[in-house]
Amino acid sequence: MRCISRVLTLLAVLLLSACASGGGTTAAPPPVNPEAQAVNLYRIGVDDILEVSVWHNPDLNAKVPVRPDGMISVPLIGDVAAGGKTPEEVSAAITDKLKAYVRDPQVAVILTELRSHEYLSRVRVTGAVRQPISVPYRQGMTVLDAVLAAGGTTDFAAADRTELYRKEAEGATRSYSVRLDRILQKGDLATNYPAQPGDVITVPERVF
């Protein structure tokens, strides 16, 4: 009996400890997919139009083009490098320079017009699609949008071996695997990456 009593006491202590700690463990956040992050980055090009907005400082707001040297002109701080960078990187650079003049500056950089070179402003779909195409890039375009614009895949497509090819800022070309069949047949959008200017999407044929 004493043994049973001790076991019951121990169980009661464990239950009280669990309640005190919230009744269980907190689920860990899902892991971040570094490939999905990388594919989502747009690099600003020459002639693109950027809107710079500084919170509570309307006199510093500006809508500026990216010059051939890759620079933009921002009120108060002058030239800032933008070519080849993401809007977030440009925002961070402007914020850093403004700290000398503005207390705790809050800066937003928005790409309002894409005017980069014609080649860089297009998305191409090749391989086992109904109509290989080269379409103008538009904000919000995804891999699925581009493939549907090409009429979808043919009966001979190996859709789950689709590759997205993208030229990185360093000049190297990187490929991303796209499970196009899962996207089309199951609605699994995990690899339905946002398209970027200059992307080439290739759908291979099945090997018989």
Domains of the chain (ranges; CATH) run 49-113 (3.30.1950.10), 122-203 (3.10.560.10)
Q: How far apart are CA 94 and CA 61, in angstroms?
A: 12
Residue 112, C-beta contacts closer than 8 angstroms, at least 6 positions apart:
49, 50, 51, 63
Residue 112 pLDDT grade (very low, low, confident, very high; cuts 50, 70, 90): confident
Phi-psi region of 59 (alpha: psi -120 to 50; beta: other; left: phi over 0): alpha
Percent of the chain with pLDDT over 70: 77
Give the pLDDT score at 62.
93
Q: How many CB atoms lie within 10 A of CB 200?
A: 19
Instruction: From 68, 62, 168, 57, select the one nearest 109 (Cα to Cα).
Output: 62
Q: What is the pLDDT of residues 155-168, one digit of tens each?
A: 999 999 999 999 87
Nearest residue to 128 via CA among 54, 68, 204, 69? 204
* Alpha helical stretches, state H, 119-179: 143-149
Confidence of residue 26 (pLDDT cuts 50, 70, 90): very low
Judge whether 98 and 173 are in contact, CB under 8 Å.
no
pLDDT band, residue 68 (cuts 50/70/90) = confident
The whole-model pTM stands at: 0.54
How many helices (H) and strands (E) the chain has is answered by 5, 10
> Which residues share a beta bridge with 127?
203
How far is the C-alpha of 73 from the C-alpha of 125, rounded, in Å? 36
